[in-house]
Structure 1
Amino acid sequence: MKPFKSTLKATAAAILVAALGCKPKGGDAENQATESVGEPAMSAAPAPDAHNSQNSLDWNGTYKGVVPCADCEGIETVITLTRDGEFQRRMTYLGREETGRTDAGTFTWDETGSKVTLTPEAGEPQSYQVGENVLFHLDRDGNRITGDLADQYILVKNRADPGLENKKWILVELMGQEITAGEGRRTASLIFDSETGRFSGNNSCNVINGGYELREGLRITFGKMASTLMACPDMETADRFNEVLETVDNYTIADGVLSLNKARMAPLARFRLEE
């Protein structure tokens, strides 16, 4: 019989050998756990929010407002921004004898897609923050104007009506009289451009154009009109057409027919959509 101590030593050695034989290749579990903690798994960074004024808002169009003026009653400002990166601006100095000025040029967006800078062909650039249907006039450092006059540095976008605008309307009735194209009379028509806030067309003799404004309740106002000066055999229709545009204050559209009205009187003019 072997001594007890020798047997105990042999048994311990066998257990140690068995334990070493169970170690995973490449290092023990403790080392692997340490390596795992020290090198965390890579996760995809969250995508930045791609939504901004430039790509999320219907920003092109015409904006109007009256901003403060140091030596007049205010500057009536009208700015049109187009999709092709161009602008037109008209500034009228209220309470002054001078009529104001107009300019045009290009505009660029900042890196955030929230501000535009207008660069006129002559003069200094001006920046605006673009909001939903509004432009905020910014100071020289590109910041929003604060204080008691902050609300006066806001230009509001013209109201739009997809049912009326960007379509060609053909005149079919004027002051209750049916209108058809014929000898000495061209086809009278109107087109309302939502981007520029201007109308164009023909009064049955001359080409006409001018500004218009839509307001709540299907109200419409035609601005000062420009016209070519051709003489036609039937000037009566052309003159009445011009008179109607100066008179009407609201409109309705039903079954593809546009009616221009004065208050609740019978329609002064009716149009159909061009086929």
Structure 2
Amino acid sequence: MRNFIAQQVIFLGITTLLFNVSCQDEKKESKQDAQTEWEEKSPKKKWDYTGVYQVTLPCVDCSGIIVKLHLNEDGSYRIVKNYNGNDDTPGEIKTETGKYQWSENDSLIILNNQKFRISDNVISWKDPEIARIKKDSSKTYSLRMISKDSIMK
């Protein structure tokens, strides 16, 4: 009887060990599949994101801030902010240029420490850092592509 119980314990131990080894292989494969899937879905590879995007932001002391964002294939960008004038003051234009970077997992574009999420012909901009904007930290602004022409003018 002891011999039978010993055989059953050994059988269960080997079965459990084999089951655990096979599950670990599946986990490794699923991690690799997830990484490949993410790379295929990353905005950097999925969409043709270069071009000119535009949004009108609210403004405390003007009728609105028209923002045009130019993204170029070479990693350069240009943001033009046109502060529409009201009756008392004429409009003011501010321009910023530089190089954009992709976040570590290629899900966001980073311009001067501000993060933008890319999707098909739209860029989402959460809480833009503009001094004259009405602050609402829960608001996300969508810049829509207005031109595929990404040459900065």
Q: Which residue pairs with 1:93 in the alignment?
A: 83
Unpaired runs of 5+ residues, structure 2, are 130-135
Give the percent of matched residue pairs that are identical in Structure 1 and Structure 2: 20
Relative contact order (alpha carbons < 8 A, sep ≥ 6): 1 or 2 greater?
A: 2
RMSD of aligned residue pairs (Cα, Å)? 2.9
Q: Which residue pairs with 2:132 in the alignment?
A: none
Q: Which residue pairs with 1:32 in the alignment?
A: 11
Report the residue type matching 1:114 in the other structure.
Answer: S
Q: Secondary structure at the match of 2:92?
A: coil
Structure 1 residue 29 displacement after superposition = 6.0
Structure 1 residue 145 displacement after superposition = 5.5
Alignment of 1:256-275 (within 5 A): none
Is 2:26 aligned against 1:44?
yes
Query: Out of 112, 120, 127, which is 2:105 matched to?
Result: 112
Structure 1 residue 110 displacement after superposition = 1.3
Q: Secondary structure at the match of 1:111?
A: coil
From the superposition, tell whether residues 65 and 83 of structure 1 become closer, same or farther in structure 2 (CA, over 3 Å).
same
Structure 1 residue 126 displacement after superposition = 2.3
From the superposition, tell whether residues 83 and 159 of structure 1 become closer, same or farther in structure 2 (CA, over 3 Å).
closer
Query: Out of 50, 55, 58, which is 1:68 matched to?
Result: 58
Q: Please, what TM-score do these two structures have when normalized by structure 1?
A: 0.41
Report the residue type matching 2:126 in the other structure.
Answer: L
Alignment of 1:113-192 (within 5 A): 113-119=106-112, 125-139=113-127, 146=138, 150=140, 153-160=141-148
Aligned partners of 1:137 and 1:145 also within 8 Å: no
Report the residue type matching 2:103 in the other structure.
Answer: D
Is 2:55 aligned against 1:80?
no
Aligned partners of 1:75 and 1:93 also within 8 Å: yes
Aligned partners of 1:61 and 1:157 also within 8 Å: yes
Cα separation, 1, equivalents of 2:69 and 2:46: 20
